[in-house]
Structure 1
Amino acid sequence: MDRGADWEEQRRQAIAGHAAALEAGRAAEAREAGALLSDFVRRAAERGLTPRTLQARTFDGRATYRTHVRGWYLKSNRSVAVGEDGKYYVLTVPGSLRARFAGADLSPSTPRLIVGAGGGDGETVPLKQLLDKRLEAGVSWP
């Protein structure tokens, strides 16, 4: 093998190693965030915080649809929530005539320890802070 081929192979291995480390870090973060969400659901039940049917807003913000998920909003703008299943939901969906009548379908998102990280709007908040704030607000919160 010539030096160029050796260098290319080393580069490929370094890239693969970096990608594996990044994925392992994301998985560990998701597990830690998932534990926080599960703890929140338990504590919310202990405090008598009743989950409500969540609503999702279209990407353009013009319409709001009910969903088939029950849970608690974590931000006052109702953009993220934790479901009673302990999953994390980002409450934006594409516009749909079907959703207007039948409700929007939501899929859980991978939770992160910093909500809004990588979102581009500059508003980042630690997940634990949002969960604690929601518990402190109690039933008076939307």
Structure 2
Amino acid sequence: MDRDWLEQRRQAIDAHARAQQDQRAREAEQAAALIAAFVADATARGIAPTPLTAPAHRGGARYRTGLRGWYLDRHDRLAVDTEGRFYVLTTPNSLRARLTGTAVQPRPAPLIVGEGGRDGDSIPLRDLLRRRLDAASGT
């Protein structure tokens, strides 16, 4: 193989990777701003945060997380805590977690929740947050 071609190919791959990383960072900033506005709006409307629990991957068990915030979806698997961090609240089944709770880590929020999933399972984050506020306000 021609060394120049290989070098050009490597540079193109690196540039593509940097562009994807930059795009993810921009989306994370936009999502963080949406979530910060949600937390402020929920607080202003008097929508009280609740203790967040994480469902096990299988079965009906739910584990304490030590977090307080608002569930965003009807299955209580997506949530935002009072600090404005986004969580996907699923955890492996664990006897220890039943007794002591589980630790879940925040993730960068996507602008399209469920993107790449089944048809009808994706929703813009902005719409999901608005629905949660509207449901809590009774509108």
* TM-score interval (norm. to shorter): over 0.9
What's the CA shift string for 1:10-50, capped at 9, x where partnerless? 00000000000000000100010000000100000000000
The answer to whether the 8 A contact 1:69-1:106 is kept is no
| Pair 93,19 (structure 1): closer, same or farther in 2 beyond 3 Å | same
Gaps of 5+ in 1: none
Q: Name the residue aligned to 1:49.
A: 47
Letter in 2 for 1:18: H
Percentage identity across paired residues of the two chains: 47
Residues 80-119 of structure 1 mapped to structure 2, 5 A cutoff: 80-118=78-116
**TM-score of the aligned structures, taking structure 1 as reference length:** 0.91
The Cα RMSD (Å) is 1.4
What's the CA shift string for 1:80-120, capped at 9, x where partnerless? 011111000001011122210111111101111000113x3
Separation (CA, whole Å) in 2 of partners of 1:21 and 1:110: 17
**TM-score of the aligned structures, taking structure 2 as reference length:** 0.93
> Aligned to 2:20, which of 19, 22, 35?
22
| Pair 85,117 (structure 1): closer, same or farther in 2 beyond 3 Å | same
| Pair 99,88 (structure 1): closer, same or farther in 2 beyond 3 Å | same
The answer to whether the 8 A contact 1:89-1:109 is kept is yes
Query: In the TM superposition, what is the alpha-carbon distance from 1:139 to its structure 2 partner?
Result: 5.8
1:93 aligned counterpart, secondary structure: coil
Q: Name the residue aligned to 2:126.
A: 128
Number of paired residues? 137
Runs of 4+ in 1 over 6 A off after TM superposition: none
Gaps of 5+ in 2: none
